[in-house]
Structure 1
Amino acid sequence: MVLQLITPPVEEPVTTAFLREFLRLPPDQEENLLTRLIRTAREVIEDHCNLVMLSQRWYLQLTNWPQSGRIALYKAPVISIDKVRGFSADGSAVQFSSDDWRLDTESRPQRLYLRRPQYITIARGLEIELTAGLANEPEALPETLRHACVMLAAHLYDNRNSAQAGTLMTSLPDMVAQLVSPWLRRGRL
């Protein structure tokens, strides 16, 4: 299984100006670093929670047709399934219609159930393009997730030289872990 980002979010959960104010840094100091830290914080939290905060497009490739017809989508919440394409034995692509699949948004991870059309013999796998995200703009995100991004970015800023000292972050800081705990991959989204 290959899961690859096609289109990243247009904005991050918080701005560099907000993080700079939180860190009490002078204006325009370390802009590039703060940008990278915010993006890293978002990516770490999304990966930790199996959650997509802001709208993103993803590409999922499977080498084999799932026997059950069920595919776990490890990016949630799914906004839309944009394309489902299979490959026949001769390698030709076959586009699936929306009648050939059903999205289960109630399970976690969310699942795509495929109905193999009788006229298609899948031999070389599937490609799925999907759009996922909890919100389209940062202001629509729950404040706890935005604050978790700020806290983690600040932690990364404060510990930016830790790698040189030989200590690496192996888990989320306690406060960040508490803030994101309701969003972990348990239960429903």
Structure 2
Amino acid sequence: MFLRQTVAPASEPISLSEAKAHLRVDISDDDTLITALITAARQFAETECTRALITQQWQLVLDAFPGPSLLGVPYGVPYSIPGHAILLDRPPVQSVESIQYQDMAGDWQTMPSTDYVAELQSAPARITPGFGKIWPITLPQIGAVKVNFTAGYGNAAAVPQGIKAWMLIRIATLYENREEVATMNRGKLEPLPYVDRLLDAYRVPML
């Protein structure tokens, strides 16, 4: 399985003016640096939560469609994960654009959207064949299945405040500490224990 971003988000959850207000920076000298830190903080938050924030596009590459197995409800997950389900690990998923596969002749085919069901509210999102349908037979070759989908909360206003608050704190930390180590001039440095807890409600459970 390989997941790659095909279209990056067109904007960030935190604007430059919001970040500068949090940092109490009035000059424009560091605008380029702060802009880069906003992107770094967003990417860090997305990695920590296994989520997409601003609208972006992804492609999941599989070697084959998942095989059948008994339905089950994993511990700590309030819904079933059928063995033949494709899981999309960058919630919230807005839409599934296409499911493509290589047939036995080696030609790429697009699966009709009426042949599968996409349940996009869960995290991760799930896709299974529709009732009475099965996954197509694919060429026994790596990378034979590609799922293209759009993910993210939408624009900056739709991103949860807990994530944006964490990003602002992370941006401030990166701005004030620009090296790998810190020189302790005024005593011991202590991390604030609540900071990373801001992301707890948004972390996608590991299955």
Q: What TM-score, normalized by structure 1, do the two folds share?
A: 0.84
Residues matched between the structures, number: 180
Unaligned runs of 5+ in 1: 166-171
* Paired amino acid for 1:7: V
How much has 1:130 moved relative to structure 2? 0.2
Please name the residue that 1:168 is paired with: none
Aligned partners of 1:142 and 1:58: how far apart in 2?
Answer: 21
Unaligned runs of 5+ in 2: 69-83, 184-190
Please name the residue that 2:128 is paired with: 113
Q: Secondary structure at the match of 2:195?
A: helix
Aligned partners of 1:54 and 1:105: how far apart in 2?
Answer: 16
Residues 1:100 and 1:23: Cα distance change in structure 2 (over 3 Å): same
Q: What does the per-residue CA deviation read over 1:46-94, in whole Å, with 9 as the maximum and x for residues that have no partner? A: 1111111111110111112211331111110110000110111221011
Q: What does the per-residue CA deviation read over 1:125-178, in whole Å, with 9 as the maximum and x for residues that have no partner? A: 2101100112x211222222211111111112222212698xxxxxx9634312
Aligned partners of 1:6 and 1:120: how far apart in 2?
Answer: 25
Judge conservation of contact 1:152–1:173 (CA < 8 Å) in 2.
Answer: no
When Rg is computed on C-alpha atoms for both structures, the one with the higher figure is: 2
Please name the residue that 2:177 is paired with: 159
Q: Secondary structure at the match of 1:148?
A: helix
Please name the residue that 2:163 is paired with: 145
Task: Point out the structure with the larger helix share.
Answer: 1
Aligned partners of 1:119 and 1:12: how far apart in 2?
Answer: 37
Residues 1:179 and 1:155: Cα distance change in structure 2 (over 3 Å): same
How much has 1:118 moved relative to structure 2? 6.9
* Paired amino acid for 1:100: D
How much has 1:9 moved relative to structure 2? 1.3
Residues 1:119 and 1:15: Cα distance change in structure 2 (over 3 Å): closer
Matches within 5 A, 1:33-48: 33-48=33-48
How much has 1:122 moved relative to structure 2? 0.9
Matched, 1:100 2:115: yes
Aligned partners of 1:141 and 1:106: how far apart in 2?
Answer: 16
* Paired amino acid for 2:50: N
Tell me whether 73-82 or 13-22 shows the greater mean CA deviation: 13-22
Over the aligned positions, Cα root-mean-square deviation in angstroms equals 2.5
Task: Pick one of 77, 89, 100 that aligns with 2:92.
Answer: 77
Aligned partners of 1:112 and 1:152: how far apart in 2?
Answer: 35
Judge conservation of contact 2:61–2:146 (CA < 8 Å) in 1.
Answer: yes
Q: Secondary structure at the match of 1:72?
A: strand
How much has 1:106 moved relative to structure 2? 4.2
Sequence identity (%): 24
Task: Point out the structure with the larger strand share.
Answer: 1
Q: Secondary structure at the match of 2:47?
A: helix
